[in-house]
Copies of this chain bind each other. A is one copy, B any other.
Amino acid sequence: MSNTQQNDFSKWYIDTIQKADLMDYTPVRGCIAFKPDGFEIWEHIQDEMNRRFKETGHRNAYFPMLIPESFFQKEKDHIEGFAPELPWVTEAAGEPLEERLALRPTSETMIGHLYSDWIKSYRDLPVLINQWANVFRWEKKTLPFIRTSEFLWQEGHTAHSNEEEARHETMQMLNIYKEVVEELLAIPVYDGQKTPSERFAGAVDTFSIEAMMKDGKAVQAGTSHYLGTKFAEAFDIKYLTKENKHEFVHTTSWGTSTRLIGSVIMVHGDEQGLVLPPRVAPTQVVLIPVGPWKKNPAIMEKLDEVYAELKAKGIRVRLDDSDQSPGYKFNEWELKGVPVRIELGPRDLENSHAMLKLRDEEGKEAYALEGLVAEIENQLTAMQSRLLEKARAFRDENSHTNIETLGELTTHIATSQENNEIPGWILAGWCGDDACEEHVKQETKFTTRNIPFNPPVEKHTCINCGKDAKHTVWFARAY
């Protein structure tokens, strides 16, 4: 394979997900089919998120997908933000509907309507609910997993008696996202606050975790919103306090989506295709008999034994005894990003060892059959950490903190292009003026990603106007 990842990242991405059999296109614009290996990555994310949501007192529920048009009208920022992307149901069972129904782009409105009924008194608070659902945003440019007309996500919706508690919830969920994305997907992220122009439509404050892909572009990997009393006011969600007063609740919402699947591919993949962190790999270990193994039944016996042992440990293992050649199999399983490959042939068996190949490293090594399973377990754990560290090193290398002015940024981008290097992200000062943010975007296509809670350095002058900076901000091109 030629050097596609570096030269044409989009082509590399599409090739990789198709060769790894993760998805397929469909005739419905921007809607993809999630094939089993793609969907299973999502299932592992779901399991880990669900565990943490439940540990922090949240419960799952399910709300209707169809939302009456009138609901959207109630919060004006919300309708402005989402109206341009909505698909509408206008007829059902052979008759036109009296009111158009939108396919949900997010559920604040439907949930706001219901919470106004569910919440009566301080005894009913907090309400801590999450939903796993399909959502729709009919966007012009789509990219599998990253931006699709229909996608899968979870959306948490909570209601609290006061701002402090709601803000604490907003941060707690952002932290859970950071932990899951870093620990499970081995993707390092910057957590921080969105600028006003990048806020969720209808939020008081939006916080995000942002991840760098291998082409240097950013993916917003999760968001958590403090909604204040805006939706409470729009939908009349009030509660009776202990002091017998009626007050508006403070709400939050937070979400992560199947774009995490796209992110894990773009962060870890290499020229050979997919590389999956062990914790989300549908197949963690593949066992392949080599040499004249069909004449030598002891090889399959030994592999069956290793298979059973790995299975008993809860490791996701496949034994490939199909009649393809070993070379064909090696290639197939590499394309699928399987972390560990074990090869066993007659000579290996004689020497009481097996060959072990790690997906993210060159060369293979012999390991004694005695203790092989424990060795595999160790290697999986080590690879999980190694991938996170590699991604972190890559990100840090491509995070530039020495750019002070728009001129320097423009030069940096031009130089990167000339050298066939990625421009990466830049950390810069910002005065807080929307116009400065907009001007940088117009000139460079770099947008503000977030105002990181822990920037590597503090910046003191606005990259656009040169005045005092109010914030230190990550700028990058974004998906």
Q: Which one of B28, B33, B59, B62 lies within 8 Å of A33 (CB-CB)?
A: B62
A367–B433 Cα distance when bound, in Å, is: 70
Interface hit among A83-91, A165-173, A413-421, A436-444: A83-91
> Does A134 interact with chain B (Cβ within 8 Å)?
yes
Does A94 contact B87, Cβ atoms closer than 8 Å?
A: no
Task: List A53-71 residues whose CB lies under 8 Å from chain B.
Answer: 59-68
Task: List A108-158 residues whose CB lies under 8 Å from chain B.
Answer: 110, 113-114, 117-118, 123, 129, 133-134, 138-140, 150, 152
Does A91 contact B88, Cβ atoms closer than 8 Å?
A: yes
A10-39 Cβ-contact flags toward B at 8 Å (1 or 0): 000000000000001011100111111011
Knowing A28-B64, A64-B150, A86-B92, the reply to whether A322 touches B33 (Cβ < 8 A) is no
Does A39 contact B66, Cβ atoms closer than 8 Å?
A: no
A35–B62 Cα distance when bound, in Å, is: 7
Does A61 contact B34, Cβ atoms closer than 8 Å?
A: yes
A140–B67 Cα distance when bound, in Å, is: 19
Does A59 contact B87, Cβ atoms closer than 8 Å?
A: no
> Does A93 interact with chain B (Cβ within 8 Å)?
yes
Does B60 contact A39, Cβ atoms closer than 8 Å?
A: yes
> Does A473 interact with chain B (Cβ within 8 Å)?
no
Does A152 contact B322, Cβ atoms closer than 8 Å?
A: no
> Does A317 interact with chain B (Cβ within 8 Å)?
no
Q: Which one of B63, B64, B91 lies within 8 Å of A87 (CB-CB)?
A: B91
Q: Which one of B36, B93, B110 lies within 8 Å of A61 (CB-CB)?
A: B36
Does B90 contact A86, Cβ atoms closer than 8 Å?
A: no
Q: Which one of B27, B60, B86, B93 lies within 8 Å of A138 (CB-CB)?
A: B93
Does A33 contact B64, Cβ atoms closer than 8 Å?
A: yes
Find the B residue at minimum CB distance from A26.
Answer: B64
- In the bound complex, residues from chain B placing their C-beta under 8 Å from that of A152 are 62
Interchain nearest-CB distance for A185 vs B (Å): 19
The A interface is mostly helix, strand or loop, or mixed, namely: mixed
In the complex, the count of this chain's copies comes to 2
Does A66 contact B118, Cβ atoms closer than 8 Å?
A: no
Does A65 contact B134, Cβ atoms closer than 8 Å?
A: yes
Does A117 contact B24, Cβ atoms closer than 8 Å?
A: yes
> Does A43 interact with chain B (Cβ within 8 Å)?
yes
Q: Which one of B43, B66, B123, B139 lies within 8 Å of A28 (CB-CB)?
A: B66
Q: Which one of B31, B36, B60, B133 lies within 8 Å of A60 (CB-CB)?
A: B36
Q: Which of A35, A84, A129 has the most CB of B within 10 A?
A: A35
Does A118 contact B27, Cβ atoms closer than 8 Å?
A: no
- In the bound complex, residues from chain B placing their C-beta under 8 Å from that of A140 are 93
A86–B93 Cα distance when bound, in Å, is: 5
- In the bound complex, residues from chain B placing their C-beta under 8 Å from that of A358 are none
Does B39 contact A62, Cβ atoms closer than 8 Å?
A: yes
> Does A103 interact with chain B (Cβ within 8 Å)?
yes
> Does A40 interact with chain B (Cβ within 8 Å)?
yes
> Does A101 interact with chain B (Cβ within 8 Å)?
yes
Beyond A27-B68, A62-B152, A66-B87, 4 additional pairs, beta carbon < 8 A:
A36-B59, A39-B60, A87-B93, A88-B92
A: which residues have CB within 8 A of B? 24, 26-28, 31-36, 38-40, 42-43, 59-68, 84-94, 101, 103, 110, 113-114, 117-118, 123, 129, 133-134, 138-140, 150, 152, 322
Lowest 9 CB-CB distances: which A-B pairs, in order? Answer: A87-B92, A36-B59, A31-B64, A34-B62, A93-B138, A92-B138, A90-B90, A39-B61, A88-B91
Can you list 15 pairs linking A and B with CB atoms under 8 Å apart?
Answer: A26-B63, A26-B113, A28-B101, A33-B64, A36-B61, A39-B62, A40-B59, A66-B87, A84-B94, A86-B92, A87-B92, A87-B101, A90-B91, A93-B140, A134-B134
